[in-house]
Structure 1
Amino acid sequence: MATPQAQGVRQRPQKETAGGGSMKKPRNDIDSSSGDANPMNMNANVAETVEKAKQAGKEVAQKDWDYKLALTVITVLAFVTRFWGISHPNQVVFDEVHFGKFASYYLQRTYFFDVHPPFGKLLFAFAGWLVGYDGAFLFENIGDSYISNKVPYVAYRSMPALMGSLTVSTVFWIMWESGYSLPACIVAASIVLFDNAHIGQTRLILLDATLVLFMALSVLSYIRFYKLRHQPFTRKWWKWLLLTGISMSCVISTKYVGAFTFFSIGVPVIIDLWDLLDINRKQGALSLPDFCKHLGARILGLIVVPFLMYLFWFQVHFAILSRSGPGDDFMTPEFQETLSDNLMTQSAVGIDYFDNIAMRHKETKVYLHSHVDQYPLRYDDGRISSQGQQVTGYPHNDTNNLWQIIPAAAMEGLGHRVKNGDLVRFRHLVTDMWLLTHDVASPSMPTNQEFTAVSVEDANGPRYNDTLFELRIENGKPGQEFKTMASHFKLVHVPTKVALWTHHTMAPLPEWGYKQAEINGNKNLLQTSNIWYVEEVPGLAPESPRLIKEEKKPKTMPFLKKYFELQRAMFFHNNALTSSHPYASFPLQWPFLLRGVSFWTENDTRQQIYFLGNPVGWWFASSILAVFAGILLADQVSVRRGVDALDTRTRSRLYNSTGFFFLLWAAHYLPFFIMGRQLFLHHYLPAHLASALVAGAVVEFVFNIEPPELATFAEAQLGEAKKGSTRSQAQQSGERLTGRPIRERIAGQSLLATWAAAGVVVAVLMWGFWFFAPLTYGRPGLGVEQVQARKWLNYDLHFAK
């Protein structure tokens, strides 16, 4: 597989394909096709040649009408299947609770946090803005009514439905531009057109329609660009290069799995550049400066421009979300100070030594807590503890969460402000014990240190050094004041250099610890899970000058600093999505469509929306992937054994064009096997689209191919005829012996077989779509027997009893 070439047999004169094939010559141009044109007759035949070229051009234009007509019909059907009944249900469905809510936050300019980039969500906000919606509804719960809350939900849903419809057209266009026959184009497009999963996902306020459309447009744009490789640096060449980069940027600006599309396009780009570097290439060697121009153009069009566009959407994101909102907690205090109405900025209070404070973990929200109970003598694995007083994480506000902050060095009087970098100690207010950590393994993690509390005698005596901690404010300046809410900090033990730590993935303590969170010392000081903050300073007198607030204006922060901070938070929380979900699935299940996802149910009408692909289409496409792999293996084995079963043009198309589609599938599927986050069936939709392209290509390969032995026989007979004949006689003899009528008859039969195969495939796809349509559109409600009839595999459908 070198490049996404598109060479091969078509049943019409054809334009240059993505593989670089030139215009197919008229069948009666024997001299030209044989490569043995007669110079003596060249001038005499000029008029005839021009006339033939005109006729060929007319034939191409006429023949293109069948493709245009098919594209029109398929596009209309795509709009019908995506938009039909789009107003049902008039309730919040599945993840509309997230992406509809984000659109409302944009319209309210309220800062929120999400693990996905902003482009797809901005499109939904744009749809709401177009219809004049103010974003008052926040999509809190699945099943909430759109009608009673006056939400223009049809406008929201129309955005992905439009993109889902255009995706079907783009699939057809990809096949057409790649030089495939009309039946192959129809098969590939129909697999997506009549797929219940693509329809179901693109009729709701979800991101996948944007992701899949721009992934398809990336492929189409690159094929168009590649076909212009013999016209480098022309306006069209630049146009399709830049459109490729822009489309890929839109993919990764919607979800980070768009990186798979960059890889899919990047591989053929690198191979193409490697070919351009070859000094012995058939089309002529490039000078090193010319090669550098090609390299620079691709870097500009496929890396620089996409990255700048990607940054642009984040700039728009920050510019719109200027008000404080639910996403504040995910960001640093410095970031939060750039938002208006930020509670942290308004409520921050300076902390003095000897204040009583409650320290809260940023990620898990548990308070640093202690009580009179001690660690057991032995843990479940037999390790011995210190039997010191327990220090745990407690999720509720309680007096046992209060600690008095004490300076390490003696200070006279009160009113000394705590600052960044200070050495501090902590006294538990209720039990009068002092916080420390030491070289004893924690209850569940032998690699981490145990936190405990000791008496004042020990704390001020032999254990004094063990009670010393350095206060490190995140991104704080030397001497910066320590404040409630505004100062996120790490508490680093001075002697052992471990940080006060807990984590949401740790199992709670056993019964002896009252199922509370474990607190221990983490040796990795760089982890963001080491961060804590002080929620309040209880007991301050109302007249305290520390409670007097001055009106503060939002601060500014450089764009790149905000961008990198948000990127770190997005990647961290995306990787943290490891909790179980009842409808989560494994990548191995996706190609076989072993289970789906329940999106919405209504008990009274027995209606339900169950996210499920068309099993017929999925199984067909998945089996074709296996067939394609088998074909490549068989061809390689045959070649190794000296049997050349394929002609050059067929093999080129098989490896380069179909191979490119197969790479597209693998790149959008296989990486999920190494992911640890929650995964669902919708993650397979881009790969499923690629499998549809492979299916259309393989259908043509199987049913629409000229037998290579016929071509070999024809060439041999033509050679024999030339030995003892005149030129004219050789042509006539060759035409008779090569069996041109036979070849045309076989080509016609081959095309007929391809149409028959395509017709069967499309008919079965339509039946599968219709049979599962009630689960896709959410109506009509099905009886018990009807539901059970659709439980082909492990489909956990509702109302089956």
Structure 2
Amino acid sequence: MSGLRKRTTKGTSKKDLSTVSNSSDEKLLETVQKSKDNEKPTDQTDECPLLNKISLAVVTILAFVTRIYKIDYPSEVVFDEVHFGKFASYYLQRTYFFDLHPPFAKLLIALVGYLVGYDGSFKFDNIGDSYIDNKVPYVAYRLLSAVLGSVTVPIIYLTLKELNYSIPTAVFGSLLVLFDNAHVAETRLILLDAVLILSVALSIYSYIRFYKEQANGAYTKGWFKWLILTGVSLSCVISTKYVGVFTYITIGFAVALDLWSLLDIESGLTIRQFIRHFVARFYSLIVLPFLIYLYWFYVHFEILTRSGPGDGFMSSEFQESLGDSPLAKTAKQVNYYDIVTFKHKGTDALLHSHGYRYPLRYEDGRVSSQGQQVTGFIGEDINNQWQVLPVEEFPEDNKLNKPVRIDDIVRFLHVNTGTYLLSHDVASPLYPTNEEFTTVDYNTSITRFNETLFKLPAADKSNKRSIIKTKSSLLRVLHVDTTVALWTHDDVTLPEWGFNQLEVNGNKKIQDSTNTWYFDEIIGLNDSRQFYVPKPVKKIPFFKKWWELQFIMFEQNNKLSSEHPFASDPISWPGSLSGVSFWTKEGTKEQIYFIGNLFGWWLEVIALASFAGFFAAVKLVQQRKIYVLKDIQIKQLFNIGFLYIGYLSHYVFFFLMARQKFLHHYLPAHLIAAILTAAILEFLVGRGKVLNITIVVLSIGLIYSFYFFAPITYGNVGLTPDQVGARQFLNIKLHFYK
């Protein structure tokens, strides 16, 4: 990096890493050495310090404005806030949950809730749920992301200045993130990416500061400070998301190159001195970050001491280390012959039947079985009661206390009409592709016995054969004979003949998450189960719990290979060819759509490609002993090379992943691409009037593009179909186009 002039470590020469990296060409080496000998102590001495401070202040203020503007809107759950807001609530209620990501950023979100006195009662179940009605301090939560996202912008500015680029270049690099629609959208919601992106930026900035400190000598106060801060920043990255390993690759590459130059005999270091350098970096950049990473898991386990929705992912031994959650007081073991109510998780509808029958013909002319109606009913009613029966009757003297377990096959008797639940190959009323559910009398249930059998697999990761409990055991109800899942929906209701209740049918997509049910209540419970007895809690060593969780996190991450409507391939990311719908509001035609600033993203693609082509051409002509690079460009090559490695490290490895991938995975790479684009611009154009005019023109285009897409970034402006259509570039598919 051009900020490093010489090493003052005992016995070192003036040769630094940028010199070593170009030593293959004697002519180029001579030019580099000559330029370094004539170089001033800093390239920033010809710039006004006051202008530098003003520029930094302006981009910082604008960053806060763009991210905090209308942060209270919408006052509803938006996209992945359903996950990370929910996790904060679980932390606040100390109930165990499972997530694929390490705990650091989630703990920060929960800390905000704790500081404002929130109790975590709202669980962020559905996109569109009201924060106002549920009294959630969502603005405080979102401000955390907004502040961290805003601070990232001045870090970009300072990084470019530490690399000795001009003020206009530093400003432009900052603007590429400041006015990027994707960064703004992602860093003003209750998400993890603001923490991740700031940590990546701080890791790169801190390492550059450490590298430059070597000019003042190794083992100085400043040298240790920036080395340790690099390690702390790296720990924040890896403790937020495991893709932080890409930042480790970036810094690791630079460290390896630095150590390689120190190992050179011309550096003047003895082997003992070299080992001391290696050990300092090893402890600061690997051991310290790992200990901090472990610390957040320790906090995670210390907070989550109660049983919760994540229990099913863990071993029975792990679950025994958790105390009962508040849910445990109402969760009761379900036994055979219990009379229960059965609730659908997505709609809160209870499984219901009554003495009325399906009509002979539906409105579209299809014929039904004319069997007894089975529907979904919201509210208490005697017709919601069902008795859970075994496939084979237990002996009369041995019927009591026989628990129903995961994967058991059962029958359901509708108590009020004395009929048995049945599904068969007859089209349902509203979904001709799905099967009808009905009930039949005792005699018919004997002749059609197999059609009354239902299996109860877990809808989550509960252990097989575990006892089913009310409220807490999430189930699918699979028809044994035809392999369809019990399902209901509230997008449309039955006609008047069905009393406008919800349709219940057999869904052939048995793995669909909307097939989830649970036993809600046991009717007339009068045995020992009515009394709550806290379970004993066992102690398990921290490292045993941590290792089990690590294994399960990676296992579940690898399973994320199913299709998703908003998933995208990495090849489409640099051009922001498609985005993600975050939130919509039908009445006002408002929407939040996650997409990058197309002007900025395509400018970065052009800059990266142009530099690669230019560099290849330079190397080609150098083979003919023709040297076209200016001295200042030669000094910039190492900076650009470092940033290029950082960009590729955060991008190309996604091509190797089989899991679901989304556009937001590109944001750390985009952050580095923004810094790299500004650096390449100054490299190709050079400092001066031409550069300043170019930056002004490009900034105008960047800001206009941000403004153009702002309505779908903030979601506070409804657009007409024509206005929506004008923003549908490439594969961007917006709502309300027609």
Q: State TM-score, norm by structure 2.
A: 0.70
Deviation at 1:703, TM superposition (A): 1.2
Deviation at 1:514, TM superposition (A): 3.9
Deviation at 1:550, TM superposition (A): 7.0
Deviation at 1:690, TM superposition (A): 0.9
Output the amino acid matched with 1:643.
I
Q: 1:677 aligns with which of 655, 659, 665?
A: 659
Structure 1 residue ranges without an equivalent (≥5): 9-15, 22-32, 38-52, 350-395, 405-413, 415-426, 431-481, 487-503, 517-534, 537-541, 705-749
Q: Aligned partners of 2:37 and 2:71: how far apart in 1?
A: 62
Which residue pairs with 1:140 in the alignment? Answer: 125
What is the DSSP-based 3-state SS (H/G/I as helix, E as strand, rest coil) of the residue aligned with 1:114? coil
Deviation at 1:623, TM superposition (A): 1.2
Q: Aligned partners of 2:531 and 2:716: how far apart in 1?
A: 60
Greater gyration radius: 1
1:90 to 2:75 alignment:
yes
1:588 to 2:588 alignment:
no
Alignment of 1:288-687 (within 5 A): 288-341=271-324, 485=467, 514=483, 552-647=535-630, 649-654=632-637, 656-687=638-669
Deviation at 1:483, TM superposition (A): 9.2
Counterparts in 2 of 1:163 and 1:551: CA distance versus 1, 3 Å: closer
Which residue pairs with 1:189 in the alignment? Answer: 174
Counterparts in 2 of 1:18 and 1:100: CA distance versus 1, 3 Å: farther
1:628-658 Cα shifts (integer Å, max 9, x gaps): 111221121111222121145522422x101
Conserved? CA contact 2:323–2:535, under 8 Å: no
Counterparts in 2 of 1:397 and 1:57: CA distance versus 1, 3 Å: same
1:76-135 Cα shifts (integer Å, max 9, x gaps): 000000001111111111111110111111111111111111011111111111111111
1:792 to 2:729 alignment:
yes
Output the amino acid matched with 2:71.
I
Alignment of 1:204-283 (within 5 A): 204-230=189-215, 231-281=217-267
Counterparts in 2 of 1:238 and 1:788: CA distance versus 1, 3 Å: same
Output the amino acid matched with 2:680.
V
1:637-691 Cα shifts (integer Å, max 9, x gaps): 111222121145522422x101111111111111111111111111110011111
1:214-246 Cα shifts (integer Å, max 9, x gaps): 000000000000001231111110110010010
Which residue pairs with 2:371 in the alignment? Answer: none
Deviation at 1:622, TM superposition (A): 1.2
Q: Aligned partners of 1:216 and 1:347: how far apart in 2?
A: 46
Output the amino acid matched with 1:572.
E
Q: Aligned partners of 2:541 and 2:532: how far apart in 1?
A: 26
Output the amino acid matched with 1:697.
A
Output the amino acid matched with 1:212.
I
Output the amino acid matched with 1:764.
G
Q: Aligned partners of 1:596 and 1:429: how far apart in 2?
A: 45
What is the DSSP-based 3-state SS (H/G/I as helix, E as strand, rest coil) of the residue aligned with 2:97? coil
1:351-370 Cα shifts (integer Å, max 9, x gaps): xxxxxxxxxxxxxxxxxxxx
Output the amino acid matched with 1:105.
Y
Conserved? CA contact 1:607–1:779, under 8 Å: yes
Q: 1:151 aligns with which of 136, 141, 148?
A: 136
Which residue pairs with 1:469 in the alignment? Answer: none
Deviation at 1:318, TM superposition (A): 0.6
Conserved? CA contact 1:402–1:428, under 8 Å: no
Counterparts in 2 of 1:402 and 1:323: CA distance versus 1, 3 Å: farther
Conserved? CA contact 1:17–1:178, under 8 Å: no
Q: Aligned partners of 2:293 and 2:49: how far apart in 1?
A: 37
Q: 1:688 aligns with which of 657, 670, 673?
A: 670
Conserved? CA contact 1:74–1:168, under 8 Å: yes
1:472-524 Cα shifts (integer Å, max 9, x gaps): xxxxxxxxxx99559xxxxxxxxxxxxxxxxx9xxx99x997469xxxxxxxx
What is the DSSP-based 3-state SS (H/G/I as helix, E as strand, rest coil) of the residue aligned with 1:608? strand
Conserved? CA contact 1:591–1:619, under 8 Å: yes
1:75 to 2:75 alignment:
no
Alignment of 1:683-722 (within 5 A): 683-704=665-686
Output the amino acid matched with 1:129.
Y
Q: Aligned partners of 1:348 and 1:687: how far apart in 2?
A: 49
Q: Aligned partners of 2:92 and 2:321: how far apart in 1?
A: 19
Counterparts in 2 of 1:34 and 1:636: CA distance versus 1, 3 Å: closer
Alignment of 1:17-28 (within 5 A): none
Conserved? CA contact 1:5–1:653, under 8 Å: yes
Deviation at 1:345, TM superposition (A): 12
What is the DSSP-based 3-state SS (H/G/I as helix, E as strand, rest coil) of the residue aligned with 2:593? strand
1:500-551 Cα shifts (integer Å, max 9, x gaps): xxxx9xxx99x997469xxxxxxxxxxxxxxxxxx99xxxxx9999999975
What is the DSSP-based 3-state SS (H/G/I as helix, E as strand, rest coil) of the residue aligned with 1:610? strand
Conserved? CA contact 2:324–2:535, under 8 Å: no
Counterparts in 2 of 1:192 and 1:428: CA distance versus 1, 3 Å: closer
Conserved? CA contact 2:142–2:190, under 8 Å: yes
- RMSD of aligned alpha carbons: 4.2
Conserved? CA contact 1:194–1:614, under 8 Å: yes
Q: Aligned partners of 2:45 and 2:632: how far apart in 1?
A: 21
Q: Aligned partners of 1:574 and 1:18: how far apart in 2?
A: 42
Deviation at 1:151, TM superposition (A): 0.9
Output the amino acid matched with 1:219.
I
What is the DSSP-based 3-state SS (H/G/I as helix, E as strand, rest coil) of the residue aligned with 2:266? coil
Q: 1:199 aligns with which of 184, 204, 209?
A: 184
Deviation at 1:299, TM superposition (A): 0.4
What is the DSSP-based 3-state SS (H/G/I as helix, E as strand, rest coil) of the residue aligned with 1:228? helix
Conserved? CA contact 1:17–1:177, under 8 Å: no
Conserved? CA contact 1:101–1:140, under 8 Å: yes
Output the amino acid matched with 1:776.
T
Which residue pairs with 1:766 in the alignment? Answer: 703
1:535-593 Cα shifts (integer Å, max 9, x gaps): 99xxxxx9999999975431111000110111111111111111211111111111111
